[in-house]
Amino acid sequence: IPVDPFDLVIFGASGDLAQRKILPSLYHRMIAGQMPREARIFGAARSKMSRSEFQDYVADALRKFAPESAKDEESLKAFLDCLDYVAIDATGEGGWSDLKAKIEDGANPVRAFYMSVAPSLFGAISERLSQTGIATEDSRIVVEKPLGHDLESARALNAQLSASFDESQIYRIDHYLGKETVQNLMALRFANALFEPLWNAQHIDHVQITVAESIGVAGRGGYYDKSGAMRDMVQNHIMQLLCLTAMEPPSRFDPDSVRDEKLKVIRALDPVELKDTVRGQYRAGNGEASYKEHAENPDSKTESFVALKVGISNWRWTGTPFYLRTGKRLRARMSEIEVQFKEPPHNIFRGSERVPGNALVIRLQPNEGITMLMTIKEPGQGGMRLRRVPLDMSFAQTLDIDTSEMADAYERLIMDVIRGDQTLFMRGDEVEAAWAWTDPILQAWAESSASPEPYDAGGSGPDGALALMHMDGRKWREIE
């Protein structure tokens, strides 16, 4: 279904995110028939560029980052026709009247502003937008991480945005929420009555969430070294996965019902003790360079891996730990959530010492799908021996689709901005609550004299992470 015709201004249009994600996503949505051809996309950045220079620049970006679809010359031309460019001085006077004149020259009903710039410019740009009247009461503003470095800076950012925009106009992107499989988590939980009665501490032994990456930090060491895995992945993406797994059923699938429930989860998280945290940093291994080399900082103590044991103090979850882990340069790229159910209360089978509990594995990427681990009788005459086997559902096979061609998270989210649907965006209080929980962990690390534990590049993470589970008689799933 096509969205309403819109004007979208991309601040920072010559940056990496715009080239890699925003522009290719819009282009794909146009090819899919969702972006109307009356839409206008304005690039806005500091450098002077003419409209045609910007069009050439975008054509190059699309050929690089959307090579297959950019071969379609007719669509490419139609897309480039939607583009215009304004050189703008974010903190000064230059370019604003020009932008206003161009925007007011059209009659598209939706206006959105994408801040693909450093957060230090969010305040200045939003103030200009509202002062000049370029942003109206129903315009939308899109921002993206890093949404603060800690609670204090996140509060300051929120205050700057809300000085010019109402919360209902602010779209904070966490691209994990745009992933098809992450949304499927909600369908799995709330469109299947089967699991809900069991989805609690009485029946679930623990939950483990893994976001393992095989890539390192090459090329973005400067940003990453100031951030680390906790700020880069845990405070946002993993927190969202945790919330969707743990939240109460919202009464409706609408923005505030969903976000209220997520917020309650974050607020119920227990403070994490230092002993329940592991931070690691990859060293050279398996032919790959070390973190320090990538970050170009021989003394760096930044973590490229985090594992945490987290408790949630509420009626549903008290007693069921959530184990979280994420890291760079691990053996494989693998994101999944495993819900490990308890063992049956009594074992009637003498042939097996233990009857393993069932587990539900939700694979977010790659090989998106769901696996239920079931216990069956081992075939043969060996008596009643038990074995755990997978009952497997892969989206690609079951739905006969090529999951690599599923709409990218950004495509979905940008179209949601135009539609005015905030369900898959973070609310300001949610971001602040996540920082309020993360800050003491970061502070405890900063105060500790210990360095992150080294792990081999291309391995499965530091031994400390394995120990975190072993101590509780539990085990991580293999990263493979």
Please give the positions annotated as active site: 237
State whether residue 165 is helix, strand or coil. coil
CA of residue 155 relative to chain centroid, distance: 20
Cβ(106)–Cβ(75) below 8 Å: no
Judged by CB under 6 A, the number of residues near ligand BG6 is 2
By CB neighbour count within 10 A (0-12 exposed, 13-18 middle, 19+ buried), where does 340 fall? buried
Binding positions for NADP(+) are 46, 145
Distance CA 66, CA 63 (A): 6
Residue 255: how many other CB atoms lie within 10 Å: 18
**Site for ligand BG6 contains 303 (CB under 6 A):** no
Contacts of 54 (CB under 8 A, 6+ apart): 13, 43, 83, 84, 85
Q: Looking up tokens 């282009």, which residue turns up?
A: 27
Min CB(363)–ligand BG6 separation in Å = 13
**Residues numbered 166-185 forming contacts with ligand BG6, rule: CB under 6 A:** none
Distance CA 63, CA 204 (A): 48
Distance CA 474, CA 329 (A): 24
Cβ(82)–Cβ(39) below 8 Å: yes
Please identify the residue of the shown chain whose CB is closest to the bound ligand BG6: 232
Cα angle 413, 233, 204; round to 5: 95
Residue 435: how many other CB atoms lie within 10 Å: 24
Min CB(302)–ligand BG6 separation in Å = 12
**Residues numbered 211-240 forming contacts with ligand BG6, rule: CB under 6 A:** 213, 232
Amino acid 296 reads: E
Smallest Cα–Cα separation from 302: which of 215, 238, 210, 222? Answer: 222
Nearer residue to ligand BG6 within complex by CB, 353 or 480:
480
Cβ(208)–Cβ(340) below 8 Å: yes
Nearer residue to ligand BG6 within complex by CB, 223 or 274:
223
Q: Is 141 left (phi over 0), alpha (psi -120 to 50) or beta?
A: beta
Cβ(262)–Cβ(330) below 8 Å: no
Min CB(50)–ligand BG6 separation in Å = 33
Distance CA 27, CA 111 (A): 18
Helix (H) or strand (E) holding 440: helix 428-447
Min CB(405)–ligand BG6 separation in Å = 16
Distance CA 188, CA 182 (A): 10
What is the crossing angle of helices 180-190 and 239-246, to 10°?
A: 20
Contacts by 384-393 with C-beta closer than 8 Å and gap 24+?
Answer: 384/349, 384/350, 384/351, 384/352, 385/351, 385/352, 386/349, 386/351, 386/352, 386/355, 386/356, 388/356, 393/369
State whether residue 399 is helix, strand or coil. helix
Min CB(213)–ligand BG6 separation in Å = 5
Min CB(301)–ligand BG6 separation in Å = 18
Residues that bind ligand BG6 (CB under 6 A): 213, 232
